[in-house]
Amino acid sequence: MSLTPDQQAEIETLRSTSVPTLRAVSEGMEAHLYKAYPVLDHGFVRVIDYMGDDAAICQAARVSYGKGTKSVQNDEGLIRYLMRHWHSTPFEMCEIKLHVKLPVFVARQWIRHRTANVNEYSARYSILDREFYIPQPEQLAAQSVINNQGRGEPLSAEASARVLEILKGDAARCYDHYEEMIGKEGEPDNLARELARMNLPANIYTQWYWKVDLHNLLHFLRLRADAHAQYEIRVYADEICKVVADWVPAAYSAFEDYRMGGATLSSKALDVVKRMLKGEDVTQESSGMSKGEWREFRTLLD
Ligand SMILES: Cc1cc2nc3c(=O)[nH]c(=O)nc-3n(C[C@H](O)[C@H](O)[C@H](O)COP(=O)(O)OP(=O)(O)OC[C@H]3O[C@@H](n4cnc5c(N)ncnc54)[C@H](O)[C@@H]3O)c2cc1C
């Protein structure tokens, strides 16, 4: 993770200063606040601010005048009920603001989640750092032959070495040209930063502040912490999952149970389950499902 000693000192200053507050505080989240957790080779994710806790979800659900929580068991039961029945607005009462440093190609996937507020580091105003995501050799795999959107078998050692050589060489050359086009301050014919950046590859790092409510964050995590998500965004989602588990433990546990670990069945699939429970040997042909649906359904059950 590329934090300078000055940046690290700023984080430590924030963590050593506290103020009394009347607001709800999540002890679990306080332990994470401001800390940068490394992701990939130069990236990180850190919590800048948050609002609410498990109790805030119950408080909103009960539209309470006071704290709005009852016993822990009662609150957990309510949160599970809300999650189970897609009663989502109480979860929107909690918010989180993250500072994320990530490769541009990961940012392009991330930004598709429109229900967040974003402010990105300006490459028109500032010069980007010479920092490129270079995968670990074990992440270099061939195009999957089953899934057009995924990786298959690992590359051979020779092929991996060649790919890494290409990635490093291209990054270095493009950044050298970027610097050359920007030139030195005060010199004539310096190309504007907003134009010079055109030359930079998609594995260069960018940074942003990303603010989202808990309902939409869980939606993001459901999609991006999933095995189908690309590894390079999944590792960020996995890191955020750890933070959310400490921030709102009851909501996270319900999310793990109903969303991450659970499954939605079509009416055809439900019918097949009922027939199987009655002892029928159902096949793809007799199920009424397509081959793809059947494969996914069998994977769920196996
Ligand atoms: C494994 C995977 C593969 C993907 N592959 C591709 C791909 O090949 N090409 C591609 O373009 N994208 C791809 N995506 C992106 C995907 O299609 C979604 O754009 C992305 O996951 C964001 O989801 P979302 O729209 O639900 O999230 P958000 O934008 O956060 O929206 C959350 C919810 O709010 C509602 N909403 C938000 N904005 C609107 C709106 N304007 N109109 C109506 N409802 C709205 C919807 O109900 C939506 O589900 C992929 C995503 C994943 C996880």
**C-alpha span between 107 and 40 (Å, rounded):** 13
Find the 109 Cα to ligand 1 centroid distance in Å.
Answer: 10
Question: pLDDT 10s per residue in the chain (302 long)?
Answer: 678 899 999 999 999 999 899 998 999 999 999 999 999 999 999 999 999 999 999 999 998 888 777 887 899 999 999 999 999 999 999 999 999 999 999 999 999 999 999 999 988 989 999 999 999 999 998 887 777 778 888 889 999 999 999 999 999 999 999 999 999 888 888 999 999 999 999 999 999 999 999 999 999 999 999 999 999 999 999 999 999 999 999 999 999 999 999 999 999 999 999 999 999 999 999 999 999 999 999 999 98
**C-alpha span between 242 and 211 (Å, rounded):** 17
DSSP state of 227: T
Confidence (pLDDT) at 131: 96
Residue 249: CB atoms within 10 A of its CB come to 16
Instruction: With beta carbons less than 8 A apart as the criterion, state whether 46 and 37 touch.
Output: yes
151 in contact with ligand 1, CB cutoff 6 A: no
**C-alpha span between 43 and 205 (Å, rounded):** 8
- 211: its two tokens: 């603010």
Query: pTM of whole model > 0.85?
Result: yes
Confidence (pLDDT) at 139: 92
113 in contact with ligand 1, CB cutoff 6 A: yes
Confidence (pLDDT) at 175: 97
Give me the CATH topology for the region 5-132+205-260: Gyrase A; domain 2 (3.30.1360)
Confidence (pLDDT) at 1: 66
212-264 pLDDT tens trace: 999 999 999 999 999 999 999 999 999 999 999 999 999 999 999 999 999 99
- 43: its two tokens: 């990236």
Whole-angstrom distance between the N-terminal and C-terminal Cα of the chain?
39
Half-sphere exposure of 302 (CA within 13 A, CB side): 6
- Domains of the chain, by residue range, sit at 5-132+205-260, 134-202, 267-301
Residue ranges of the annotated binding site for FAD are 89, 112-114, 120, 213-215, 219
Helices 291-301 and 267-277, packing angle to 10 deg: 50
70-93 pLDDT tens trace: 887 899 999 999 999 999 999 999
Confidence (pLDDT) at 71: 83
**C-alpha span between 79 and 88 (Å, rounded):** 10
Residues sharing a CB contact under 8 Å with residue 44, sequence separation 6 or more, in sequence order:
1, 3, 36, 37, 38, 99, 100, 101
Catalytic residue among 46, 222, 224, 275: 224
Of 225, 8, 213, 2, the C-alpha closest to 103 is 2
Q: Which of 92, 111, 149, 223 to mutate to test the pocket of ligand 1 (most atoms within 8 A of CB)?
A: 223
